[in-house]
Amino acid sequence: MRDKTLKLYVWEGVFCSYGCGMIVVLAHDIEEARRVILKTDEFAKYYPEDLAKQPKIIYLTKNTKSIAFTVHGGD
């Protein structure tokens, strides 16, 4: 049975060209997260090594604390 709980998946240091970016996805599991990325971002298919990386996974519950993820751009 599929878990109905959404989780926040965060990939940092991805899609690097001049600087690196990040990916943030709400999904039920990591496979769904990767499918949503490929469906949403037309350039993601050019970065298979980034999608293969293990993201940070934040389990959202009523007790989840506030958290921030930031990525600063480069030259």
Residue pLDDT, tens place only, 6-59: 999 999 999 987 788 899 999 999 999 999 999 999 999 999 999 999 999 999
Residue 15's alpha-carbon distances to 43, 45, 48, 49, 56, in angstroms, are 9, 10, 10, 10, 16
The whole-model pTM stands at 0.83
